[in-house]
Structure 1
Amino acid sequence: MSKSFIIRDHERGHDTIRSDGTRSSYIAGHPDGFVTRASSFNFHDYQSGRPGFGPVRVFGDEIFHGAGCGYNMHPHHNFVICAFVFEGQLTHINTAGEGMVDQLRAGDYYVFSAGSGGKHSELSVTSEDMHAIYLWLMPRQLFLPPTYHRAHFDYRRRRNTIVQLVGDADTALPIPQDLRVSRLMADAGRSFTYTLRSRGHGAYIFVREGSATVDGVALGRRDSAGFSDRDDPAITIDIGEDDSDIIVVETIMIDDDNIKAWEHDHAGH
């Protein structure tokens, strides 16, 4: 039987995190600066919202407010973290390979696989707010060597096309999981079809800006829907009256018991 769910903007977990008290070692910047986070999924006590989708544990829509705001250097292991920047400038420092200091601006995105162990820091060093979406997922294989890849999405040249940013397409960033992230910048009134790889795959569709009717479900700005176990792999996306920016995360679906066992063994992420 086909499964689906809807998460309206107000139903996401909404948090404001300041650099003060016990948080100051993790949240960077002056206490006047702060991070706002709207979470579609959760992982233990990290973020609030609906339990994960397949191997996806976090889908965080975040804004860093204030110069120097962000996350201080902190460790991860056996997690894959993707960031997609929409506004401002993100300075990302990580320990993959020989180390990397990267500056990402609107349209830039990265895939950081912590694997056997790595650290990273996320900072907005200018006074301009930085807006990004963070995606965390479990890898297909544990204890892989840490890796980092980055690229740029040029919406002016890729408009009205579902463009795979992460996954197995020739121009996509590689990721150690059966998962794809695509972006659609579309004109009002257009119609598109996203086709899942198999019945064992699902899709989480997030309307970042604008509106769309997805498989008959009307979604507004920051609304989202998930679909899985479908007989028909084709998902229709009808853009509403405004130009729209839509993120599609397609992933293999994982048995819930396996997810719970994995979370128990990786509670420290």
Structure 2
Amino acid sequence: MKTILHKASDRGFANHGWLQANHSFSFAQFYNPEKIQFGALRVLNDDVIAPSMGFSTHPHDNMEIITIPLKGTLKHKDSMGNKWETIQSGEVQIMSAGSGLMHSEMNAKTDEYLSLFQIWIIPNKTNVTPRYDQRFFNEEERQGKLQTLVSSIDNQDEGLKIHQDAKLSRIDLAQGQNYTYNTISKSHGTYIMTISGDVTIHNNMLSTRDALGVSETDSFTINTNSNAQLLFIEVPMS
């Protein structure tokens, strides 16, 4: 088993006033040659957006983009005809940028901050027709068991679909409750983001917003030191 530990305090940070952004990988003005990507995972941004603020219309192409609001409500419009769709905490949004699109994303609330993860995954097919989807995921369905949020468009697994042999999932574990994660294959790696809590994985201790990349294994075990919420991003490593 191969592991790489990314402490929360070592992430890139940008304070734009309206946006507080933490970057797990090189992004915008943050550049670290040792943190370009983890396999097909290119971006994991942990953003806090001020009320009524957000990202004005801008382009994307050939990227699978997943947004997970953790607190608050996001609103989205794009060149595919979606007009200010709202995505609330508990929902997940996916967007296959494919051959190219334009979109805007804003905090839908005027009186509260929006906290979210934005994830970019390099696709296994380029210049596909752009597509958009979103879905609500019940918190109760990830208590002590894996809840699949996103998987490959080429298989019949549950969850939203993207153009990559990847899997995004969440689990909420109680203190003292352990869990063994089984990978798609040994050629995949899994990036574990600790949303909250304290866990130990293969002698690596993780606290809130710490992350661990695990590869070259078909399984690994999480030992919880407190109640914990975890996000798994499993991607091909080559």
Q: TM-score range by the shorter chain?
A: over 0.9
1:188 is aligned to 2:175: yes
1:116 is aligned to 2:99: yes
Instruction: Report the alpha carbon displacement of residue 246 of structure 1 after superposing the two structures with TM.
Output: 0.4
One-letter code aligned to 1:227: V
Cα distance between partner residues in 2 of 1:200 and 1:162: 21
Bigger proportion of residues as strand: 2
Instruction: Report the alpha carbon displacement of residue 4 of structure 1 after superposing the two structures with TM.
Output: 1.6
Any idea what SS the aligned residue of 1:150 has? Answer: strand
Which of 217, 225, 232 aligns to 1:240? It is 225
Any idea what SS the aligned residue of 2:161 has? Answer: coil
Which of 30, 49, 56 aligns to 1:64? It is 49
TM-score (norm 1): 0.82
Instruction: Report the alpha carbon displacement of residue 137 of structure 1 after superposing the two structures with TM.
Output: 1.5
Q: Percent of counterpart pairs with the same letter?
A: 28
Residue 166 of structure 1 corresponds to 150
Residue 210 of structure 1 corresponds to 197
For the aligned residue pairs, the C-alpha RMSD in angstroms reads 1.5
User: Deviations 1:159-206 (Å, cap 9, x if unpaired)?
Assistant: 111111000453210110011101011211101011112111101001
One-letter code aligned to 1:217: N
Instruction: Report the alpha carbon displacement of residue 240 of structure 1 after superposing the two structures with TM.
Output: 1.4
User: Deviations 1:39-93 (Å, cap 9, x if unpaired)?
Assistant: 11124x364452101111110011102x221100111111111000110110011
Which of 35, 38, 51 aligns to 2:22? It is 38
Which of 4, 20, 39 aligns to 1:54? It is 39
1:224 is aligned to 2:198: no
Q: Which runs of 4+ in 1 moved over 2 A?
A: 45-49, 98-101, 168-171
Contact 1:86 1:132 in 2 (8 A): yes
One-letter code aligned to 2:126: L
Q: Residue 47 and residue 178 in structure 1: after superposition, are their counterparts in 2 closer, same or farther (change >3 A)?
A: farther
One-letter code aligned to 1:107: G
Q: Residue 198 and residue 179 in structure 1: after superposition, are their counterparts in 2 closer, same or farther (change >3 A)?
A: same
Cα distance between partner residues in 2 of 1:217 and 1:172: 29
Structure 1: runs of 5 or more not aligned = 19-33, 255-269
Cα distance between partner residues in 2 of 1:152 and 1:229: 32
Cα distance between partner residues in 1 of 2:43 and 2:181: 22
Aligned pairs for 1:76-87 within 5 A: 76-87=60-71
Any idea what SS the aligned residue of 2:9 has? Answer: helix
Residue 176 of structure 1 corresponds to 163
User: Deviations 1:139-166 (Å, cap 9, x if unpaired)?
Assistant: 1111000001111121124311111100
Residue 16 of structure 2 corresponds to 17
Larger Rg: 1
Relative contact order, higher structure (CA 8 A, sep 6+): 2
Instruction: Report the alpha carbon displacement of residue 101 of structure 1 after superposing the two structures with TM.
Output: 2.7
